[in-house]
Chains A and B, each alone.
Chain A
Amino acid sequence: MTDSTTRVRPGHSGLRTVLSVSTAAALVIAVAACGGDKVDSEPGASSGGAGAAGDCGTVKLAVNPWVGYEADAAVFAYVAEQNLGCTVEKKDLKEEVAWQGFETGEVDLVIENWGHDDLVKKYITERKVAVDLGSTGNKGIIGWYVPPWLAAEHPEILDWKNLNKFADKFKTTESGGKGQLLDGDPSYVTNDTALVKNLKLNFSVVQGGSEAALIQSFRTAQKQKKWLLAYFYEPQWFFDELELKRVTLPEYTAGCDADPQKVACDYPPYDLNKIARKGFADSDSPAADLARKFQWTNEDQNLVSKYISDEKLTPEKAAEKWVKDHKDVVDGWLAAG
């Protein structure tokens, strides 16, 4: 309704027009004042959680870019805000940058860490700016996977010794005449090039470059019954969509992966852990305590991941849903002592 006033043509008496528009404007404000919710009177819009904003303060939580991590972060943040009255500041960061944040004080907590020996050495052992807060309870599994249709039709392929027999089938335009082993996001630990060489496999590693490329390749492979061998990992929301099968490699024994050039054994099971900034861990913030006690199973994480990736809930809603159904687990994290 106010728009029409802007169409005043030049040539009218300028002053009179401006005056009349101003009067109309005042009128609009006066009329509008009669109805509608006022901003400051809106309930629930005030920031902060339901809990008393106590001594917890702000927790700077790094959020690394994968759904499983997002699930951990969402549940941790939900509990910290709702039960402890903390303010959780989430920061979307890649792992390297997140660890740098321990040094500069920009990050308090990394809640799901996959190994990263070089970072552990640098920031925990040498610089002493970060500490290990123990396991999240999740077991990380890394390995080579094939799509379910292939495992069903050729079950023998799930043993690495038979891989060479089928190398031809895995050939692509990218693999230079050998079978293709597709790798993904370079952030993850991989010994694949050394493994292929040391196990004398007639394969070559092709860099897919991202997790998205891996997942999409598995989807396509399943749909079109294509042969695909690729590096992948659990826990991962994608297993909900497609039950990938893992190829067994020579068994892992402690120390068999000591020399990265001579590795000829499977990846070790990773105990996913939490890393905190030293200053944060040493503080008496209840959030640091919660971070220490935060533990759940792969099933728990997969469930929250599924809420996020499949049901498309926001992380907050997903966490709320899970926490409501798992009061006992959460109570365990919050118990004193």
Chain B
Amino acid sequence: MFLRRRPRTATLLVGVLGLWILARTALAGRWTLPSDPSSVTAPQQWLNDLRDTLEADRDSLGIGLLIEPFRQGIDQLVTALRSLLSQPALGLPIPVLGWLGVLALAVWSAWALGGVRVAGLTAAGLLFVGWQGLWTESMDTLAVTFAAVGVCLLVGVPLGIWAGTSERFARLVTPVLDLMQIMPAFVYLAPLTLLFLIGPASAVIVTMIYAMPPAIRITAHGLREVPKDMVEAAVSMGATRGQLLRTVLLPAARRTIVLGANQTIMAALSMVCVASLIDAPGLGKNVLKALESMDVGTACNAGLALVVLGVLLDRVTTAAAERERFGPGTPRRSRSVPGFRRWSFPGFPLPERLRTRHLSGRGVPLLCGAVVVAVCIQLSRTFVWAAQFPTRDPGEGAGRAISAAGDAATLWTQENLPGLTTDWQQFTTTWAIDPLQSLLSSGPWWVTMAALALLALVLAGPRTAGTVVGCLGCIVLTGLWQDSMVTLASTLVATAAVLFLGLVLGVWVGRSRRADRVVRPLLDAGQVMPPFVYLVPCVALFGAGRFTAIVAAVVFSAPVAIKIVADGIRGVPEEVVQAATAAGSTPWQLIRRVQLPMSARALLLACNQGLIYVLSMVVVGGLVGGGALGFDVVSGFSQGEYFGKGLLAGLDIVLLGIVLDRITHGAGNRWHSRIGPPAVQMPGERGETRIERLPAGADGSGEKTGANSREELASSSSDSGSAQRRGPAPERSVRTPMGTRNS
């Protein structure tokens, strides 16, 4: 229906596409820049030599001297955390805290930070992980994660503050953050161990590279979201920059900063498996070891422990963020924000009663709790039963049952589904992947480039078209044009599937609470479960090939899209839905005419994030026959002579990410300003045509950032007393976050 409003865009698109197909058919097979798998081009060789120089002269270049103190600091931090949680320490065969001590401390902290419910969840989760026989491994994983997250926040929050207050710095740092998040870790694993040596320190640094961007981005975002008039009021009262930051900006952005911590933790957890390729301790090792002998059940058990840890950390930090937001003593009315926390990673909505709980008067119970914690710690340092978890082997306890169930499920799918799945695989490959790939990669490179630039021009405008030409030009220079186009084709097909699932399931989940309750845990698992666990079943079902790579990418990316769309649907004001229903709309009309158009922003966001998430799975796809860039990166990691090639392939993935990100953003902004505010929109919305600029993050930071803006929307309207309104209300200045109220 949107195309009907702007027939010109549609005509132009069809025109460009037609020209493209014509040109490609006429010139098929010429200037295709094929990538020879075994050749090494000059720039690739130059990168290899650079690596060799670095390796040979690590000490004489003074790099060692510069890096060594940093490395040792990190090393000591991890060692300290590990002796606290997982490794024998202080002359005893047990860590400083036995399991009972860790459990008590964790539950108590969760209670203090988040409340009774998350405390109960923490207890249940940790006991479950222990019962799986993975206590020590889980604690190792937590130690590495905490070390990485600690440093990330220490460095990231100040940088985020800088980026949030200085537009110039933000512009400078954004491409770097894009690079950090999209560049596959496989590319820099090996060189990092050259600089930081093999061991937990390198693992922490690899994790940091990936987990730092959300901390910076979300902090900056939080600061920028602070209402302008609040800042102006403070400035007019003569506040200096420092005072402004301390008394207005930081308190107002505190909750967002805690959410940044949440996303940093989640990103760090997602690196667990990759980091274990360079000997990072923890659950990642269990997953990879199990897969050496194709033991899907055991890998599944370890993956599940990771999911449990992820959900726990998410719930606790989200609850903490929520507490930051409401604080003690806020009147009940202003606390019940509809839809608040919808966006939380994994997340199911918290019950009302927790949101509105009064928090005051917890001092005494907390103190009593602290005493109990001290007792538990003492016990766990004294007695074997409290020091070592009763089940210490994944082969016993719940671990055994989970492994068996995982194996049985894998076997069942292998026995019963392949007839169906093979047809499906062949159909999609022949009718979707192949034609698109042939269009992109088997014509002259400059035709493809021109066509993509024209599409960008039509969809997003001249500036974006310029960016597209620049990025594609760089891809040509890296010598991996054809591989990049093959990857692009698979990426587009995967994104289409993600969007389809996002629309169908998102609408369903968004409209039905019960569906939400059923689907949510599955979405959480899809996002946190290491892809390595489900690669083998995927190959079993679809064979090694591009389709399998696409399936793996969809499993990982669809949950994000579904969550975003569901949230958009839920964000449609209740009375609009009621009005439409009263006017006699069928459910289908309601969805098509009201709910979908009114969640246009969410749809665009789902599209953008879907693309970026799919790109982050390119390398994983390379492990199951995806070929192209993913395989180049994997072989660069495995073979020294292809190091340069792998690095450039990683760079190409980043460039493709930038191209797709900019096009979807540009198109989104245009589309949004074009269709205008939906009929029921409040005036406040009109001014805000630009879609919140999202980080091209591959880890959910984008999701959360979008969430923030959306939560801000929801909260600002509710604070100003009109909970039904969408979009920032004009009387936004009324809003006084508790931080400022306190100061």
Contacts and interface: CB of A to CB of B under 8 A. Distances in A.
Given A6-B372, A92-B279, A210 B385 contact: no
B291 interface: yes
A10 B365 contact: yes
Given A29-B379, A209-B625, A210-B624, A174 B545 contact: yes
Interface string B409-450: 000001000100000011001100010000000000000000
Nearest to B291: A212
A39 B197 contact: no
Contacts of A25: 371-372, 374-375
Contacts of B641: 118
A211 B638 CA distance: 13
Which of A3, A37, A174 has its CB near the most chain B CB atoms (within 10 A)? A174
A205 B292 CA distance: 23
B369 interface: yes
21 contacts: A10-B365, A21-B368, A33-B382, A37-B383, A38-B383, A38-B384, A91-B198, A100-B55, A101-B193, A173-B426, A173-B430, A174-B429, A185-B638, A193-B37, A209-B544, A209-B624, A210-B623, A210-B624, A217-B544, A219-B540, A308-B293
B374 A213 contact: no
B362 interface: yes
Nearest to A305: B293
A119 interface: yes
The 7 A-B residue pairs with the shortest CB-CB distance, nearest first, are: A309-B293, A10-B361, A186-B635, A187-B638, A45-B93, A173-B429, A14-B364
Nearest to A182: B544
Interface in A176-224: 182, 185-187, 193-194, 205-217, 219-220, 223-224
A239 interface: no
Given A209-B623, A209-B631, A10 B362 contact: yes
Contacts of A100: 55, 190, 193-194, 198
Interface stretch (A64-72, A130-138, A326-334): A64-72
A113 to B, nearest CB: 14
B357 to A, nearest CB: 12
B259 interface: no
A168 interface: no
A251 interface: no
A72 to B, nearest CB: 13
Contact of A95 (B58, B363, B635, B638): B638
Nearest to B540: A216
Which of B94, B285, B384 has its CB near the most chain A CB atoms (within 10 A)? B384
Contacts of B379: 28-29, 32
Contact of B368 (A8, A32, A211, A224): A8
B83 to A, nearest CB: 13
Interface string A27-49: 01100110011111010011100
Given A91-B279, A103-B55, 8 more contacts: A8-B364, A36-B385, A42-B93, A207-B631, A210-B535, A210-B623, A224-B418, A309-B295
Contact of B198 (A5, A107, A172): A107
B497 interface: no
Given A39-B381, A216-B536, A209 B622 contact: yes
Interface of B: 37-38, 52, 55-56, 58, 88, 92-94, 98, 111, 189-190, 193-194, 197-199, 276-279, 285, 288-289, 291-295, 298, 360-365, 367-369, 371-372, 374-376, 378-379, 381-387, 395, 414, 418, 425-426, 429-430, 434, 535-536, 539-540, 543-547, 622-627, 630-631, 634-635, 637-642
B197 A217 contact: no
Given A2-B372, A47-B93, A312 B539 contact: no
A122 interface: yes
B627 A206 contact: yes
Contacts of B55: 100, 103
A209 B626 contact: yes
Contacts of A152: none
Contacts of A187: 638-639
Given A37-B384, A92-B288, A212 B535 contact: yes
B245 to A, nearest CB: 35
B288 A65 contact: yes
A217 B624 CA distance: 10
Nearest to B108: A6
B190 A208 contact: no
Contacts of A217: 539, 543-544
A104 interface: yes
A37 B546 CA distance: 56
Interface in A153-173: 172-173
A47 to B, nearest CB: 6
A224 B541 CA distance: 12
A331 to B, nearest CB: 30
A141 interface: no
A219 B294 CA distance: 11
A255 interface: no
Contacts of B93: 39, 42, 45-47
Contacts of A42: 93, 384
Nearest to B380: A39
A14 B93 CA distance: 39
Contacts of A260: 38
A53 interface: no
Contacts of B381: 39
A125 interface: no
A17 interface: yes
Contacts of B365: 6-10
A263 to B, nearest CB: 11
B543 A36 contact: no
A54 interface: no
A308 B289 CA distance: 10
Nearest to A194: B38
A22 interface: yes
Nearest to A64: B292
Contacts of B189: 97
A337 interface: no
B380 to A, nearest CB: 9
A308 B290 CA distance: 10
Given A18-B371, A212-B535, A66 B37 contact: no
A144 interface: no
A284 B418 CA distance: 58
A182 B543 CA distance: 11
B122 to A, nearest CB: 13
A324 interface: no
A224 B372 CA distance: 60
Interface string A298-311: 00000000001110
B627 A97 contact: no
Contacts of A174: 429, 544-546, 625, 627
A193 B38 contact: yes
Nearest to A190: B38
A96 B190 contact: yes
A198 B641 CA distance: 23
B82 to A, nearest CB: 14
Contacts of A8: 364-365, 368
A202 to B, nearest CB: 19
Nearest to A63: B279
A234 interface: no
Contacts of A127: 56
A18 B37 contact: no
Given A6-B368, A172-B545, A94 B539 contact: no
A150 B403 CA distance: 32
Contacts of A9: 365
A100 B288 CA distance: 21
A280 interface: no
A121 to B, nearest CB: 10
B361 to A, nearest CB: 3
A142 B554 CA distance: 35
Which of A33, A97, A215 has its CB near the most chain B CB atoms (within 10 A)? A97
A95 to B, nearest CB: 7
A86 to B, nearest CB: 18
